[in-house]
Copies of this chain bind each other. A is one copy, B any other.
Amino acid sequence: MTITALSLGALLAAAAMETPPAPAAGPSGPLQQKLAPALARYTDDVLFGTVWPSPGLSPRDRSLIVISALIATNKPAQLTGHLNRALANGVTPVEASGVLTHLAFYAGWPNAVSALEVYDRVYTDRKIDVAALQAKVGRLADDDGFGRSAEAALAPTAPKFARLSEEVVFGDLWRRSDLSARDRALVTIAALTAMGEADQLAPYLRRGREAGLKPAEVTEAITHLAFYAGWPRATEALGSVARTLEAKP
């Protein structure tokens, strides 16, 4: 379902003028319908009616970026439902655990640790075989120089930080094969967007493109994240995307 020029605006305008329908079982749930019926309408008609089913990005990728944003902004309460949805949408447990490990570095250990308890409950409820998470993880080829410009530029000021970035983040974390380079870039873009770190997106936008992430997928992902991290964060991130695309030789 895509947004056509008239449909969404007309639908909303009509809905606003009419007596709301009796509360029904929808993604919005009874509390939204009782306390904020307009919010329920936006949830059902726009977010779940239009954005989630939109063909510009797979449900699996939408789930990947939503769990990334929820972990990066410390929303364990909402993560429960969305981690379940992610696993149902095709994110594997190995990938989901890879997201957690990745975001410990990008959003800080405390956010990852908070999410860990949600993972435990969801994996237990879904009877996921956690032994598979202990399997050996392969290593991707190193991608020389990727994304390291900012950190390398800091070497004179902060040599240990530059070393940790080089050896641990780029030399080890990014070379793990539990997430593809394309997914790792997408997860990072989602986290930076949600954290309000749009100024640091550029190297990851480039890394994603090299690894097969299409520009249209990136803008669709950030559009989706407007609903999970707020319009201002998406506006900033898309501004950064626009500048990066223009700067492309």
Q: Please give the residue numbers on chain A whose beta carbons come within 8 Å of chain B beta carbons, in ascending order.
A: 3, 8-9, 12-13, 16-20, 31-32, 34-39, 42-43, 46-47, 51, 54, 56, 70, 72-75, 77-78, 97-98, 100-101, 104-114, 116-117, 119-120, 123, 130, 133-134, 136-137, 139, 150-151, 153-154, 156-158, 160-161, 163-165, 167-169, 171-173, 175-176, 178, 192, 194-197, 199-200, 219-220, 222-223, 226-236, 238-239, 241-242, 245
Contacts and interface: CB of A to CB of B under 8 A. Distances in A.
B227 A38 contact: no
Contacts of A133: 34-37
A172 B7 CA distance: 13
Given A133-B36, A133-B37, A238 B154 contact: yes
A109 to B, nearest CB: 5
B56 A3 contact: no
Contact of A54 (B19, B75, B160): B160
A215 B51 CA distance: 37
Give the number of copies in the complex.
3
List 3 tightest A-B contacts by C-beta distance, closest first.
A9-B167, A157-B242, A39-B101
Given A231-B106, A236-B197, A222 B163 contact: no
A15 to B, nearest CB: 9
Q: Chain A: interface secondary structure?
A: helix
Nearest to A20: B134
Contacts of A178: 38
Contact of A9 (B172, B238, B241): B172
B223 A3 contact: no
Contact of A232 (B18, B43, B195): B195
Given A12-B172, A32-B116, A73-B74, 4 more contacts: A13-B172, A106-B231, A161-B234, A196-B197
B200 A160 contact: no
Given A110-B70, A227-B108, A232-B192, A161 B31 contact: no
Contacts of A169: 231
